[in-house]
């Protein structure tokens, strides 16, 4: 999922994952639920949201473009999942992240003399 960025495929679902793994869908679903404690769709969306967070911090692209690049096809689903994972909306996340980056960049560097 991570190394090949399969989560970026907007058509990715349990059936496609199971076929790629040559396993029954039910077995994949049970394994993801047992190991990660979430459904397959939540598991995939967690990867998508992590990628979106990284893009929001590092890129100036519009949120909608980042949403599509990360594999979401619906803005409402993206916003709902983003809130579930991060506790905030994408615009606020970007604003807070940039504010933190600016604060770190303006802090003086401390040098320790020996």
Q: CA nearest 16: which of 40, 52, 47?
A: 40
The single residue listed with the structure tokens 């506790």 is 87
pLDDT at 111 > cutoff 90: no
Kindly report the length of the chain. Answer: 114
Burial profile 3-37: b = 16 or more Cβ within 10 angstroms, e = fewer = eeeebbeeebebeebbeeeeeebeebbeebeeeee
> pTM score, two decimals?
0.82
The 10s digit of each residue's pLDDT in 14-26 is 999 999 999 999 9
* Side-chain half-sphere exposure of 34, counting CA atoms within 13 A: 6
pLDDT at 54 > cutoff 90: yes
**Was domain 6-87 assigned CATH 1.10.10.60?**
yes
Give me the residue spans of the domains in the chain.
6-87
């Amino acid at each position: 999922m991570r190394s090949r960025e399969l989560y970026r495929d907007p058509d990715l679902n349990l059936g496609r994952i199971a076929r790629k793994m040559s396993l029954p869908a039910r077995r994949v679903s049970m394994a993801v639920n047992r190991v990660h404690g979430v459904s397959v769709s939540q598991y995939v969306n967690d990867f998508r949201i992590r990628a979106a967070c990284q893009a929001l911090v590092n890129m100036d692209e519009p949120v909608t473009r980042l949403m599509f690049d990360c594999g979401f096809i619906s803005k409402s689903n993206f916003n709902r999942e983003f809130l579930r994972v991060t506790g905030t909306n994408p615009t606020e996340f970007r604003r807070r992240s940039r504010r933190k980056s600016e604060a770190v960049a303006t802090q003086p560097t401390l040098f320790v003399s020996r």
